[in-house]
Structure 1
Amino acid sequence: MRIYKECLYCNKELKGRTDKKFCDPQCKSAYQYQQSQEHPERFYNRVDNQLKLNRRLLKNFNKAGKATIRTEQLHSEGFNPNYFTHYWKNQKGDVYLFVYEFGFLKRSENNIEKYILVQWQEYMNH
């Protein structure tokens, strides 16, 4: 008695190795795409992707090592201040949130919400 296996994507009969799951690379790719659409992104991936986006935005808007930007501009690009890797507190008590080596501090000036952007410096290690 012979047991026939079918392709996980197109249901065609599989020939060849006994552990084969797909009839060709196109079916394998289509199946993996279908699975990614049916199953929501894992928590770890969501956090990692947001951290990467936040870092890229902070780096792009902070070319000189220190900058100021309106919060709405960063948020419109997809920045989420709830995702950060660590923090640093200066001598005045201000707490800068960091995404890897790029930090931000929320400030309000003349009723306009802004972020002060900084880059990690060696003196912050102490």
Structure 2
Amino acid sequence: MEKSCLECGEKLLGRADKKYCNDHCRNAYNNKRNKESNQLIRTVNNRLRKNYRILQDLNPEGKTTASRKKMADRGFDFSFITHTYTTKKGSTYYFVYDLGYLPLDNDYFMLVKRTA
């Protein structure tokens, strides 16, 4: 039974379970196969990275306040977070990895850095 490369169709020699003729074809095949599903993940990760950089820039000391306008002007997207944390008092912090914010009055936020 003669097998051929899944990417380029070239005849395969060697192991019986071989699927690709070389690393280039293997990478090309898997990149094509994963392209559509990876696009959503790539978009979400880019938004999370941008939000993280903004929180990092606005909060170099570990705890401060910032206005919604200041965060939004820098491009912060409030719909992209990694998790939430609710305190015993009922306050909900929104986090992007270890950097978070707590909504305050008058469209202000307390920015915090969570320590381990």
Taking structure 2 as the reference length, the TM-score comes to 0.69
Secondary structure of residue in 2 paired with 1:16:
coil
Q: How does 1:1-126 map onto structure 2 within 5 Å?
A: 3-37=1-35, 39-41=36-38, 45=41, 49=45, 53=49, 54-67=51-64, 68-69=66-67, 70-74=70-74, 76=75, 79-89=77-87, 94-107=91-104, 109=106, 113-120=107-114
Shift of 1:18: 0.6
Taking structure 1 as the reference length, the TM-score comes to 0.64
Counterpart CA distance in 2 for 1:20 and 1:27 is: 12
Counterpart CA distance in 2 for 1:57 and 1:71 is: 7
Structure 1 stretches of 5 or more lacking a match? none
- % identical aligned pairs: 29
Structural RMSD (CA) = 3.4
Secondary structure of residue in 1 paired with 2:37:
coil
What stretches of structure 1 move > 6 A for 4+ residues in a row? Answer: none
